[in-house]
Each structure stands twice: as C-alpha cells, then as structure tokens.
Chain A
Amino acid sequence: MSELKRKAQVMDAEGVRRALARLAHEIVEKNQGAAEVILVGIRRRGIPLAQRLSKLIGSIEGTEPPVGELDITLYRDDLSTLGPNPIVHRTYIPKPVTDATVVLVDDVIYTGRTTRAAMDALFDLGRPRAVQLCVLIDRGHRELPIRPDFVGKNVPTSKKEVIEVHLEEIDGEDAVYIMEKQE
C-alpha cells in the first residue's frame, strides 16, 4: 500500500454542516415529506451521516425517520482482491424495507460498486418501493450506471487521488480532504 499525503481540504466542519442541512431539505422535498422514508447508512461512515440527516429531517418535519445500518461485505465483488477477510458486521434495519422508500447514505461515491452491493443486500431484505442514494461527496469515475439522487459536493479527482471524509463520531472532526498516493 502506498503512503497517502494530504493535498487539499475541500470541506471544513461548517461546510459539512451546511451540505447536510441542504441534503435533508432535498430529501424531504423529493419525497414530499419523510413519512415513508428509511435512511440506511452504509457502514462505516454512512451510518453517522444517516443519523445526522434523520435529526435534521426531524427538525424540519417534526418526526425523525428511522435509521438502519447496512454492512455490504458479503455482497462485495472485490472480496478476493481486498486481502484477508474484512470483518463482517451486523445489518440492522428497524422496520421492514418492503414498500418503504429507502435512502441509502454513504460518505463518498466513486466507482458505484459499493452502491451496487448495497442494493443487492437491500433487496435480499425485501422489496422497497423506491431506493434513492445520498452521498456527501461525488468524486466521479463511475464504472457502473449508477447516479446519486442527492450530492453534498461534487469533487473532480484523478484516480491517483483518494477522498478522506472525517466525521466527529469516528475521527473526532468534521472535514473532507483530498489525499494523493505517493509513488
């Protein structure tokens, strides 16, 4: 694994806060409220993001939509290239996904493969009425026909770069950085 060097900061704590506030409004607007919505965070950083969006939507609509946690390890198409056995965590969704509108929440969308795996995992749990995708950062370079419905910020990157999202709950700060692989 090559070393990563911090190249630029693309969002600070205020930036993350504003982006999430806008995303919450967009989710409510698109779904005409949030009564039928379940926010499902993709492990790992999608989960705190989904929890924050739920609180924000609660402050707009009066009720907080339920938050689920999705572990996609068993559905990945790159398991055999990832190195020895990533840890599998439990998937927990507090209500049936069948007939609900599920908003998948993740920190970054890149190739789209994580989203594909998440959709496969979700459909093994039931048949949602609709699935939408919400990401904090879209960094481009899609390899699959997948497009997010809600985007915090578009950050054009090269394939040599890596986006690092830091969240208070996991990393002790809210920030987004572009990192560069060192040769």
Chain B
Amino acid sequence: MKHLLGTKDLTKEEILTILDMAAPMKDIILREIKKVPTLRGKIIATLFYEPSTRTKNSFELAAKFMSADTVSISVATSAVQKGESLRDTVYTLEAMGVDAIVIRHSRNGAPHYLASFSKASIVNGGDGQNEHPSQALLDLFTIREHKGRIEGLKVLILGDIMHSRVAKSNIYALSKLGAEVIVSGPPTLIPEHVKEYAEVCYDVDAAIRKADVVNVLRLQLERQQAGLITSLQDYHATYGLTKERVAKGKDDLLILHPGPMNRGIEIDEEVAYSRQSVIQEQVSNGVAVRMAIYYLLLGGAQA
C-alpha cells in the first residue's frame, strides 16, 4: 500500500489487514512504555487546511508511538497564508525528507491530487464531503471489538449523510465487509445515490429498532445555511438519538459518534455517556488504527 486515499479504493482484504494490525497496536498504547522503534528515522507531516483537534492529534500521537518524527503544518501560521500552492507545499515537505503526508482539505479529491505527483505516501485525513477513511476504519475496529464481527450486522448511520465524509467512508467499508447498512435522517440530507450501497429508512424509530449498531453523525452546523433543516430543535425532536429512542432499540445497541458532538442536537448527553456508548473508546482506537495505517504504508520495503 502506498497511499490511503479512501475506503472506496480498498479491498476487503486490505481493510481486514488494517483491522487485524490495529489490535497489537492497541496493546502498545495500553502499556506503560507506549513506543515501538518501527518507524525510527521516518518523518510524517500533518497538513491540515481545516480545523481539527482529535484527528490531527491522533495522527501525530500515532506517529510518535511508532518512533517517527512529526512536522505539523497549520495553515494559519504557514506560508499558505502567503499564497503558497498545495503543490509547492508538498514539494517543500518532500525536500525536507518527509515520508508521509496526512492531509485534511475542504476540497474533494485534494489527497488524490497530491498522490498523483508526490513521492511521499499520502494519507487522507478528510477531504471535503468525500472521504475520511481513518475514521471509518476506527469505527469498524471498534464495532468488531464489541460485536466480534462486521459481517451480517445491521449498522445504522444516522443524520446528515449528504455532507458527511465519515458516512461515505463508513458505507463503502461496511458494505465491503458484508454489513447491512441502513441510513436515516432528514430526506433533504440523504442523497439519492446512497441507495446503491444502503437501505434508506426515513422512519428513525423503525431504523433504530432494527439496528445492532448506530453511528450518529455530527450535524455540520457550518454547512447548514441552505435551509435543508428547519431548526435545531426540530432536528433534535425528529432525528436526534434521544434516551427514549435508544430505550426502544436493542438492549445491546452499540452507539458511536465520530465527534465532536453537538449535545442536545444529534445526540443526548445521557446517551453519549451511557453503557452502550463507545464514543470515548473510539478516540483511543483511533490512535491504534492510525499506527496500523502507518505501519502498512511505511513499515516494510517499498514496492
């Protein structure tokens, strides 16, 4: 594997390899000495054109646990402010000897563009409304840890499907592994073509009742100017994961949320911190999965 651009391009076997590798990586972050020497001498850069706390820190921590050195470029303080192009920024990083670049960008396909000319490995840390593969992989890892499998599970993805790169990466990966994907949310936020991959169920209560797992998406407040939802109160009442809705679902319904949460909008606080919620665990699993990704991209001989 040279780059990680999206789960759409991964095979079932590649996804399973990443999930399998993440288990020994998780053991490393649970022990006292959280470091292995595997990527000593490698340099990993994070290049974030959009704000992020957990993803950026998770990628950086994962690099450090593997003994790679890290360079972090935040757009606000970099030469990007002086008008440096994406291409020139990547050439600059390459000239510094960077082996992998984790990029987050508001434009769909920005990582694919970098991969078309960069000598370094490119990792998609989220591109526009396209994909966020590492988030989907950590979601799958978390689901598999709790349910023992992915195949045959009914996984509900709830909320703003249209704007969500997390939803897309999850839908591709889950369907490759044989899960039954259900999507639910406001009809204005569910694109028509999602039906190729998932069952669309506009009745949220019915969708929750049949689900083994629910992945609640963040309502992207910054992308809601277009009048696609009526009000936040309405959204909560009609589509929010409330205590009442969870009570009517399966007793072992597993609850995920990619963060950051809008409490009281797409998810209730009691639900987010309930026994069925694995939202905190997703964060630590994220580091393990990203270590596995680095290992697969940079660990062996370059083909």
* Residue positions of A touching B, CB distance < 8 A: 71, 74-75, 79-91, 120, 124-126
By beta carbon, the residue of chain B nearest A81 is B301
A125 and B300: CB pair below 8 A? no
- The complex places the Cα of A91 from the Cα of B33 at a distance, in Å, of 14
* Residue positions of B touching A, CB distance < 8 A: 17, 20-21, 23-25, 27-28, 31-33, 35-38, 295-296, 299-303
Chain A contact residues: over half helix, strand or loop, or mixed? loop
- The complex places the Cα of A63 from the Cα of B27 at a distance, in Å, of 29
A88 and B301: CB pair below 8 A? no
Chain A positions within 8 Å of B35 at CB level: 124
- The complex places the Cα of A125 from the Cα of B24 at a distance, in Å, of 13
By beta carbon, the residue of chain B nearest A92 is B27
A80 and B300: CB pair below 8 A? yes
A82 and B301: CB pair below 8 A? yes
B301 and A83: CB pair below 8 A? yes
A90 and B301: CB pair below 8 A? no
CB distance from B21 to the nearest CB of A (A): 5
Give the A-B contact count at a CB cut-off of 8 A.
51
B38 and A87: CB pair below 8 A? no
- The complex places the Cα of A87 from the Cα of B295 at a distance, in Å, of 10
B301 and A124: CB pair below 8 A? no
Chain B positions within 8 Å of A86 at CB level: 300
- The complex places the Cα of A75 from the Cα of B32 at a distance, in Å, of 17
Chain A positions within 8 Å of B299 at CB level: 79, 85
Instruction: Tell whether A90 pairs with B27 under 8 Å between CB atoms, given A83-B301, A84-B301.
Output: yes
The 4 closest A-B pairs by CB, nearest first: A85-B300, A74-B36, A84-B300, A74-B38
Residue from A74, A86, A126 with most neighbouring chain B CB atoms (10 Å): A74
Instruction: Tell whether A125 pairs with B301 under 8 Å between CB atoms, given A74-B37, A75-B38, A79-B38.
Output: no
B24 and A124: CB pair below 8 A? no
Cβ-defined partner of A88 (8 Å) among B33, B37, B295: B295
B303 and A120: CB pair below 8 A? no
Cβ-defined partner of A90 (8 Å) among B23, B37, B303: B23
Cβ-defined partner of A71 (8 Å) among B24, B300, B301, B302: B24
- The complex places the Cα of A119 from the Cα of B102 at a distance, in Å, of 33
- The complex places the Cα of A87 from the Cα of B166 at a distance, in Å, of 27
A88 and B21: CB pair below 8 A? yes
- The complex places the Cα of A150 from the Cα of B106 at a distance, in Å, of 61
- The complex places the Cα of A6 from the Cα of B141 at a distance, in Å, of 43
CB distance from A121 to the nearest CB of B (A): 8
B301 and A75: CB pair below 8 A? no
